[in-house]
Amino acid sequence: MSDAPTVESYNVAVRNLCEFAAKLGDLDLRFTPSPSAQQGREGHQLVASRRGPSHEAEVRLSGSYVSGDQTLTVSGRADGFDAQRNVLEEVKTFRGAVEAIAPNHRDLHWAQLKVYGWLMCNTRSLEHITLQLVYFDVQQQTEHPLELVCSATELQAFFSALCQRYLGWAQMESTHRSQRDGVLQTMAFPQAPFRPGQHDLASGVYRACVQSRPLLVQAPTGIGKTIGTVFPALRAMPERGVDKIFFLTAKTPGRAVALEALQMVVAGQEQGSAALRVLELVARDKACEHPDKACHGQSCPLAQGFYDRLGAARLAAAQSGWMDQASLREVALAHGICPYYLGHEMARWADVVVGDYNYYFDRSAMLYALTAANNWRVSVLVDEAHNLYSRACSMYSAELAQVDALALQPGLPSLLRSRMNEWLNQWLLLVQSTQRKMPNATWCLLDEVPEAWLRALQRFNSAVSEYLNEHPTDAHGSLLPFYFKTLAFANLAEEFGDHSLCELELAGTVDGGADSEQVTLRLRNVVPAPFVKPRMEAADSMVLFSATLNPPDYYINLLGLADDTQLLDIPSSFTAEQLAVSIVRISTRRDDRRVSLDVLVQAMAEQFERQAGNYLAFFSSFEYLELALERLRHLHPSLPVWAQQRQMNEPSRHAFLRKFDAAGQGIGFAVLGGVFGEGVDLPGKRLVGAFIATLGLPQFDAVNQAICERMQERFGRGHDYTYVFPGIQKVVQAAGRVIRTPTDTGTVFLKEERDGELRQPRVCASV
Chain residues binding ligand SF4 by CB under 6 A are: 27, 284, 288-290, 293, 295, 300, 302-303, 338, 340-341
649 φψ region: left (φ > 0), alpha (ψ -120 to 50), beta (else): beta
Contact 370, 539 (CB under 8 A): no
Q: How far is the CB of 333 from ligand SF4 (least distance, A)?
A: 10
Instruction: Give the Cα separation of 436 and 439 in Å (integer).
Output: 6
In the complex with ligand SF4, which residue's Cβ is closer, 337 or 632?
A: 337
At a CB cut-off of 8 Å and minimum separation 6, what does 133 contact? 89, 90, 92, 106, 109, 110, 113, 145, 146, 147, 148
Pick from 4, 15, 349, 49: nearest CA to 177? 349
Q: What is the DSSP string of 27-82?
A: -B--------HHHHHHHHHHHHHTS-TTEEEEEEEEEEEEETTEEEEEEEEEEEEE
Burial level of 118, CB count in 10 A (0-12/13-18/19+)?
buried
- Residues β-bridged to residue 11: 73
Instruction: Give the Cα separation of 79 and 60 in Å (integer).
Output: 9
Pick from 283, 369, 275: nearest CA to 325? 283
At a CB cut-off of 8 Å and minimum separation 6, what does 195 contact? 222, 223, 224, 573
State how far the alpha carbon of 588 is from the alpha carbons of 582, 594, 641, 697, in Å.
16, 9, 21, 11
Q: How far is the CB of 363 from ligand SF4 (least distance, A)?
A: 21
Q: How far is the CB of 303 from ligand SF4 (least distance, A)?
A: 4
Strand ranges in 527-613 using DSSP code E only, listed in sequence order: 541-546, 566-569, 579-584
70-82/55-67 β-pairing: antiparallel
Helices and strands counted in the chain (H then E): 27, 24
Residue type, 615: Y
Q: How far is the CB of 473 from ligand SF4 (least distance, A)?
A: 18
In the complex with ligand SF4, which residue's Cβ is closer, 134 or 300?
A: 300
Pick from 299, 237, 217: nearest CA to 29? 299
In the complex with ligand SF4, which residue's Cβ is closer, 77 or 293?
A: 293
In the complex with ligand SF4, which residue's Cβ is closer, 313 or 449?
A: 313
In the complex with ligand SF4, which residue's Cβ is closer, 61 or 303?
A: 303
Helix or strand (DSSP H, E) at 152: helix 152-186
Q: How far is the CB of 33 from ligand SF4 (least distance, A)?
A: 20
Instruction: Give the Cα separation of 760 and 566 in Å (integer).
Output: 30
In the complex with ligand SF4, which residue's Cβ is closer, 329 or 535?
A: 329
Q: How far is the CB of 329 from ligand SF4 (least distance, A)?
A: 10
In the complex with ligand SF4, which residue's Cβ is closer, 196 or 311?
A: 311
Q: How far is the CB of 186 from ligand SF4 (least distance, A)?
A: 40
Q: How far is the CB of 306 from ligand SF4 (least distance, A)?
A: 7
At a CB cut-off of 8 Å and minimum separation 6, what does 605 contact? 632, 635, 636, 639
In the complex with ligand SF4, which residue's Cβ is closer, 340 or 368?
A: 340
Helix or strand (DSSP H, E) at 144: strand 142-151
DSSP 8-state assignment for residue 572: P
In the complex with ligand SF4, which residue's Cβ is closer, 290 or 585?
A: 290
Task: For the chain, give the number of residues.
Answer: 767
In the complex with ligand SF4, which residue's Cβ is closer, 99 or 285?
A: 285
In the complex with ligand SF4, which residue's Cβ is closer, 285 or 511?
A: 285
Q: How far is the CB of 289 from ligand SF4 (least distance, A)?
A: 4
Q: How far is the CB of 297 from ligand SF4 (least distance, A)?
A: 9
In the complex with ligand SF4, which residue's Cβ is closer, 303 or 420?
A: 303
Q: How far is the CB of 302 from ligand SF4 (least distance, A)?
A: 4
Pick from 669, 728, 678: nearest CA to 698? 728
Q: How far is the CB of 330 from ligand SF4 (least distance, A)?
A: 14
In the complex with ligand SF4, which residue's Cβ is closer, 202 or 303?
A: 303
Residue type, 375: N
In the complex with ligand SF4, which residue's Cβ is closer, 42 or 289?
A: 289
Q: How far is the CB of 296 from ligand SF4 (least distance, A)?
A: 8
Q: How far is the CB of 484 from ligand SF4 (least distance, A)?
A: 17
- 290-298 contacts, C-beta under 8 A, 24 or more apart: 294/29, 294/30, 295/27, 295/28, 295/29, 295/30, 295/338, 295/341, 296/26, 296/27, 296/28, 296/29, 296/30, 297/25, 297/26, 297/27, 297/28, 298/26
Q: How far is the CB of 340 from ligand SF4 (least distance, A)?
A: 4
In the complex with ligand SF4, which residue's Cβ is closer, 302 or 570?
A: 302
In the complex with ligand SF4, which residue's Cβ is closer, 325 or 729?
A: 325
Question: C-alpha angle 642/643/644, rounded to 5°?
Answer: 145
- Give 457-485 as a 3 state SS string: HHHHHHHHHHHHHHCCCCCCCCHHHHHHH
Instruction: Give the Cα separation of 362 and 337 in Å (integer).
Output: 26
State how far the alpha carbon of 380 is from the alpha carbons of 623, 660, 676, in Å.
39, 34, 26
Q: How far is the CB of 290 from ligand SF4 (least distance, A)?
A: 4
Burial level of 42, CB count in 10 A (0-12/13-18/19+)?
middle
Q: How far is the CB of 104 from ligand SF4 (least distance, A)?
A: 15
Q: How far is the CB of 341 from ligand SF4 (least distance, A)?
A: 6
Burial level of 313, CB count in 10 A (0-12/13-18/19+)?
buried
In the complex with ligand SF4, which residue's Cβ is closer, 340 or 574?
A: 340
In the complex with ligand SF4, which residue's Cβ is closer, 342 or 672?
A: 342
Could you count the other beta carbons within 10 Å of the beta carbon of residue 428?
A: 13
Q: What is the DSSP string of 77-125?
A: EEEEEETTTTEEEEEEEE-S-GGGS-HHHHHHHHHHHHHHHHHHHHHHT
